């Protein structure tokens, strides 16, 4: 889930349906969420830690980390060590730090966060912090990565409610800060407008029949929303419906994937060293993705050097009610360096992927360029020509649709009512002042 540039302005006006707003009988306390920090940190065996304010070390109130001082957390022999210069302050399988006051912050590799942290060892070599944070602070670190702060405030409010509801639905698990869930950037990326939108909707969640919903969202539905079951072959809910969205019709895309990637007829297949490094596939941006998938998923190909020779088949089928393809197929011909046939030439190998979710086939090729399952595909003698609409799965809130609805004067409650029909907007909790 991510933000995208705006290209056109919609000039028509749509009157939304006013959603149900329900005040909870008893206001809950603001919950915390746990976020594994992966996206900005990457995989590092040593990270810097700087304190703004005061933090308890390993829950010990008499052991404080000093303000404006730099520390280092390292993985050594499978355990963590917290260093102050050359002095080890703590070591073990985990190290935790807890703020003395809510306003105290920590910088991890120069990115600022609030809340407490549990540092763990991942894969026996990487420092992996888990940030426990108040839900409102978490949402303030999410919304700027989902919508630009310059977008209309009603769109930002709708995004804030969707992001908060999405996270609340997952409170019983540790999520991460990547697009696998929601991109979360801590305090560093917060801005005034997005934070104002979060404050204006403080504690508000979407519910259906009294239960908090799974408020998934995407960048653009391409003019028609999707049912969750159709998108992921998973359980669906009444608040996900296929319906035309006249406020989200501007995002289109095109892509071309060539069938023949390498003409090997003039190549010396007995001596691949003579041409391997100087010969590339026509669509190297796509084949690099395909080869990464092959190395990660096909037996015997991990860390091998591969050349995609041709793509004999790309096909999509089983369109849903919205017109999105649900299934896909992909066939490949390829060389693996130094794998020869009995004639001493590179062995031309094949693999096929069939009856796979269409979104997975797109991801193998490039979900960056094949932006959604809502497209047409035309096959020519030389290539596959894609022409598509929207960006993302199309389930729930459309960020572009919210933008254009807000530009047309539609309020955030009405925006949410359209994208999650039949839901109620509930004041679930109130954050401390």
Give residue-wise pLDDT tens across range 277-321.
Answer: 999 999 999 999 999 999 999 999 999 999 999 999 999 999 999
Give residue-wise pLDDT tens across range 256-285.
Answer: 999 999 999 999 999 999 999 999 999 999
Residue 20 scores a pLDDT above 60: no
Q: What is the largest CA-CA distance in the chain?
A: 78
**DSSP helix/strand/coil, 318:** strand
Q: Which of 424, 428, 425 is nearest to 28 (CA)?
A: 428
The backbone torsions φ and ψ at residue 318, rounded to the nearest 5 degrees and listed phi first, read 55, 60
What does pLDDT average to over the chain? Answer: 92
Q: What is the pTM of this model?
A: 0.88
Which residues are CB-neighbours of 3 under 8 A, at least 6 positions away?
Answer: 145, 146, 147, 148, 219, 399
Give residue-wise pLDDT tens across range 362-373.
Answer: 999 999 999 999
**DSSP helix/strand/coil, 161:** helix
Residue 406 scores a pLDDT above 70: yes
**DSSP helix/strand/coil, 367:** coil
Residue 228: pLDDT band with limits 50, 70, 90: confident
Six-digit token string for 122: 């991942």
Q: Where are the domains of the chain?
A: 20-29+136-249+394-429, 46-124, 252-389
pLDDT at position 432, please?
84
Contact 144, 185 (CB under 8 A): yes
Residue 8 scores a pLDDT above 80: no
Helices (H), 91-245: 135-146, 153-168, 192-200, 228-232
pLDDT above 70: percentage of residues in the chain: 92
> Distance (Å, rounded) from C-alpha 300 to C-alpha 290?
15
Instruction: Give the single-character DSSP code of 72.
Output: E
> Distance (Å, rounded) from C-alpha 87 to C-alpha 112?
24
pLDDT at position 403, please?
98
pLDDT at position 234, please?
66
**DSSP helix/strand/coil, 294:** helix
Six-digit token string for 236: 């669906």
19 vs 256: which has the higher pLDDT: 256
Give residue-wise pLDDT tens across range 181-191.
Answer: 999 999 998 99
> Distance (Å, rounded) from C-alpha 335 to C-alpha 340?
9
Beta strands of 338-422 (E only): which ranges? 349-357, 375-379, 383-389, 397-398
Contact 111, 7 (CB under 8 A): no
Six-digit token string for 119: 């540092």
Lowest mean pLDDT among 3-17, 156-170, 375-389: 3-17
Q: Which of 248, 209, 175, 199 is nearest to 395 (CA)?
A: 248
């Amino acid at each position: 889930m991510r933000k995208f540039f705006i290209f056109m302005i919609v000039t028509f006006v749509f009157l939304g349906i006013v959603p149900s707003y329900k005040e909870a009988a008893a206001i809950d306390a603001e919950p915390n969420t746990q976020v594994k920090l992966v996206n900005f940190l990457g995989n590092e065996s040593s990270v810097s830690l700087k304190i703004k304010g005061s933090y308890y070390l390993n829950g010990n109130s008499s052991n404080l980390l000093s303000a404006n001082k730099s520390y280092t957390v390292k993985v050594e022999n499978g355990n963590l060590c917290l260093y102050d210069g050359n002095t080890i302050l703590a070591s073990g399988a985990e190290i935790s730090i807890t703020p003395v006051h809510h306003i105290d912050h920590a910088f991890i590799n120069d990115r600022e966060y609030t809340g407490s942290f549990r540092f763990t060892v991942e894969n026996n070599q990487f420092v992996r912090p888990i940030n426990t944070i108040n839900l409102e602070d978490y949402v303030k670190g999410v919304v700027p990565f989902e919508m630009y702060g310059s977008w209309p405030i009603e769109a930002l409010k709708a995004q804030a409610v969707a992001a908060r509801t999405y996270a609340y639905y997952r409170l019983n698990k540790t999520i991460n800060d990547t697009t696998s869930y929601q991109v979360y950037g801590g305090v560093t990326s917060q801005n005034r407008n997005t934070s104002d939108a979060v404050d204006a909707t403080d504690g508000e969640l979407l519910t259906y029949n009294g239960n908090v919903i799974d408020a998934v969202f995407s960048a653009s539905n391409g003019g028609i929303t999707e049912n969750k079951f159709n998108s992921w072959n998973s359980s669906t809910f009444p608040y996900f419906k296929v319906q035309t969205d006249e406020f989200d019709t501007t995002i289109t895309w095109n892509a071309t994937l060539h069938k023949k990637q390498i003409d090997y007829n003039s190549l010396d297949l007995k001596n691949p060293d003579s041409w391997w490094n100087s010969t590339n596939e026509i669509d190297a941006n796509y084949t690099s993705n395909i080869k990464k998938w092959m190395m990660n998923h096909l037996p015997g190909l991990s860390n091998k050097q591969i050349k995609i020779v041709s793509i004999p088949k790309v096909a999509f089928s089983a369109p849903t009610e919205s017109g999105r393809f649900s299934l896909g197929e992909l066939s490949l011909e390829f060389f693996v360096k130094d794998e020869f046939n009995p004639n001493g030439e590179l062995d031309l190998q094949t693999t096929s992927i069939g009856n796979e979710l269409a979104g997975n086939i797109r991801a193998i090729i490039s979900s960056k360029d094949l932006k959604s399952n809502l497209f047409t595909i035309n096959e020519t003698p030389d290539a596959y020509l894609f022409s598509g609409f929207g960006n993302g799965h199309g389930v729930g809130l459309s960020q572009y649709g919210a933008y254009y609805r807000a530009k047309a004067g539609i309020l955030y409650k009405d925006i949410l009512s359209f994208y999650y029909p039949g839901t109620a907007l509930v004041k679930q909790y109130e954050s401390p002042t």
